[in-house]
Structure 1
């Protein structure tokens, strides 16, 4: 960058030559103090050189380390993909799915077979859920169920929970919205008093625990380690 003593229009004015020399000398001194190379004087009428922005734009790329491949040649590492820092919530699978469920009624099934129904108010990147107006749904298999599809296979009851329910994301198995038009008459179940459902569910859990213990013992005798939930 230098000062052009000849203006594009009109003739030279008195004092322009000394002004251009003073300007060029000041510019050279300032660049030398900053450790930058001296500018190259441009010829009159030539297009100006591109302005260097410094930083990452003029940085020297790191040397590539060549690694031999299977055929004996040399190949540099693949270029590193640069992603934007600020990504929208839709870029993450969990966030994009939960984003449409906020302020809606959801049904959450946990790994220990517990079920909660409430309004999803908030969540985070670990899928930790915050529910309000939450109820716990207790279910038990109907002992009178047959192959007849008209006989419900499950007995259920809803227990109202006070306050706000926080569910750890790693315990969630299923989280889905509730169909408000069909929630009062779910298919394949019948609402039963809480005391009866709790007693039936406790008996079925005890039977399942005993069955799993017998399976685990048989597997251990055969030299197989029992699976998750089984007691040796």
Structure 2
């Protein structure tokens, strides 16, 4: 296995991404995009010019969040973003996004997290 020289295990490897644009996925599913300004031994991140990106179908909307400190325990994934790679996604305004989201939810209602009762299972 080829390891970079010097090999930096764990969160410390993000030092190579300082001042680069990162995508950070949080444990609650939110996706944040911003410039990495600092990181510590606990993987706490300081991001600047942050936007929260929300997706529905082939559309996305960005909401400006400004400057953020993200606790390392909330980070699920972090990686550099290359804006030159094309995507098949279309950016829309927050108003358009709400209409698209409402339409999408009307066509695809969320599945209930409630477990069916024995009687409901017997009917099915």
* TM bracket (short chain): 0.7 to 0.9
- Is 2:109 the counterpart of 1:207? yes
CA shift digits 1:103-123 (9 cap, x unpaired): 100011112221111000111
Describe how 1:15-164 pairs up with structure 2 within 5 A.
90-96=7-13, 98-141=14-57, 154-162=58-66, 164=67
TM-score, structure 1 normalization = 0.42
Q: CA deviation at 1:90?
A: 4.9
The answer to whether the 8 Å contact 1:109/1:174 transfers is yes
**Of the two structures, which has the highest relative contact order with CA contacts closer than 8 Å and spacing of 6 or more?**
2
Runs of 4+ in 1 over 3 A off after TM superposition: 89-92, 198-204
For 1:207 and 1:169, how far apart are their aligned partners in 2?
33
Equivalent of residue 170 in structure 1, options 57, 61, 73 = 73
* Deviation (angstroms), 1:199: 4.5
CA drift of 1:188 comes to 2.2
Q: Which runs of 5+ in 1 are unaligned?
A: 1-88, 142-153, 222-232
C-alpha distance in structure 2 between counterparts of 1:157 and 1:190, whole Å = 9
- Out of 72, 89, 95, which is 1:195 matched to? 95
Q: Root-mean-square deviation (CA), in Å?
A: 2.5
| SS of the residue 1:100 aligns to | helix
Provide the secondary structure at the position in 1 that maps to 2:28. coil
User: How many pairs does the alignment contain?
Assistant: 110
Contact kept, 8 Å, 1:138 with 1:198, in 2: the verdict is: no
CA contact (8 A) 1:109 1:173 kept: yes
Segments of structure 2 that go 5 or more residues without pairing to the other structure are: 1-5, 119-124
